[in-house]
Amino acid sequence: MIAARPAEGAAGRARTGISLGRRVRHRTAVVLVWLSVAIVLLPLAHMFAMVTSHAVRALSPKLFTTSTAGVAGGLENAIVGTIQLVVLATVAAVTLGVLGGIWVREFASPRAAFPVRLAADVLAGVPSIVIGYFGYVTMVTWLGWGFSLLAGALALAVIMLPYVLRATDLAIGRVSEELRDASTALGATQAATLRRVILRSALSGIVTGALLAVGIALGETAPLLYTAGWSNYWGLLPSFTHNPVGYLTYVVWTFINQPFAEAHALAYAAAFLLMILVLLLNVVVRRVIVRHTEEAR
């Protein structure tokens, strides 16, 4: 049953010509390789099961309609804060990232594109706590914004930016030459070709990259610790500076260290919500990719 799809030919031959030793080695490799799959998926399954089972006792409508009070209450403030931070960060990162990706692929000479791509790749590798520290010394103290929505969102945007830029860059690179040429041959200007042909066919790639970046932003804690701070309150029309914001990942990491069962339940509930969001994002990304490849055929 494990002798896999491409091996059928070889397996047929195995009975006739392949020595026992080689067959045993093949079998051993198959077992080891699937053992590693089990080793990887086991923690994931355990994580999901554990978080879900502990979160259940905190899951109620109250969770979404009351704010945190001390280490009890609900998660309304953290949920709203997370949404505000991620939306604001996404707006900033997608604007800069998509335009930057367009420039790199459509307008820049290879020599000019190189430093931008390099910077994006390097920035993607900078530890998020370093970006958080940078945000703290620049926005929170030097600009005097204090712990705030804007400082937190911009720190997140810096983390998202390289992913959006590179995804746009790659997605535009996959648009076929024929399509471009056809558009040009019809007399469209560069701008019209870009807007109506290139961006349209690169859209699913760009959306995938942006969703990936949103997933990363949702799960970040380190860049927010010293930029967004923490707050038990929230406003529908937030003040962008001078007021700290709550967010879900903060609840996970601080509340689990509290000696109260209620705090623990909130930490698990926050982790549960984050995992569900990541799961949903992954499903959506899959659908976008699948739909795109079907369209391409």
Partner 1 sequence: MSETTVSARPRRGRVSSRAWGVASGLAAAATPLILLTILVVLAIFAWRSVVWNGLGFFTSTKWNLGNLYGGSLVVRHGIAAPQGAEYGMLVFVTGTLLSSAIAIVLAVPVGIGVAVALTSFSPRGLATVVSFFVELLAGVPSVVFGLWGFTVLVPWIGATVGPGMSKVLGFIPFFGGQAQTGLGLLASGIVLAVMIVPIITAVSRDALAKVPRELLEQGRALGLTEWEIVRDLSLPVARPAVIGAVILGLGRALGETMAVLMVSGSAVNSLPHNLYSPISTMASTIAAQLDSAMTDATGMAVHALAELAVVLFLITVLVNLLVKRIVRTLEQSPVLLWAERETE
Interacting span for partner 1 (CB under 8 A) from 63-71, 105-113, 172-180, 235-243: 105-113
CA 126 to chain centre: 16
Positions in 36-65 near partner 1 (CB under 8 A):
36-37, 39-41, 43-44, 46-47, 50-51
Window contacting partner 1 (CB under 8 A); options: 72-80, 114-122, 174-182, 232-240: 114-122
- Residues 218-237 contacting partner 1, CB under 8 A: 218-222, 225-226
**CB burial readout 1-32, b (16+ within 10 A) else e:** eeeeeeeeeeeeebeeeeeeeeeeebeeeeee
281 binds partner 1, rule: CB under 8 A:
yes
- Which one, 133 or 233, has the nearer CB to partner 1? 133
- The residue among 61 and 144 lying less far from partner 1, judged by its C-beta, is 144
Question: Which residue is it, tokens 């899951």?
Answer: 59
Question: Residue holding tokens 């690169």?
Answer: 202
CA dihedral sign, ordered 123, 127, 132, 138: negative
Query: What is the spatial distance between Cα 75 and Cα 79, in angstroms, rounded to a whole number?
Result: 6
Q: How far is the CB of 282 from partner 1 (least distance, A)?
A: 5
Which of 131, 294, 286 has its CA nearest to residue 217? Answer: 131
Among residues 86, 120, 172, 206, the one that binds partner 1 under rule CB under 8 A: 120
Residues 234-273 as x/- pattern, contact with partner 1 by CB under 8 A: ---------------x--xx--x----------xx--x--
Residue 173 makes CB contacts below 8 A (sequence gap 6+) with: 105
Alpha-carbon distance values, 286 to 160, 198, 283 (Å) = 20, 22, 5
State the minimum distance, in angstroms, from the CB of residue 233 to partner 1. Answer: 21
Q: Are 202 and 211 in contact (CB under 8 A)?
A: no
Q: Which of 62, 279, 287, 291 binds partner 1 (CB under 8 A)?
A: 279
Q: How far is the CB of 288 from partner 1 (least distance, A)?
A: 14
Does position 10 interact with partner 1 (CB under 8 A)? The reply is: yes
34 near partner 1, rule: CB under 8 A: yes
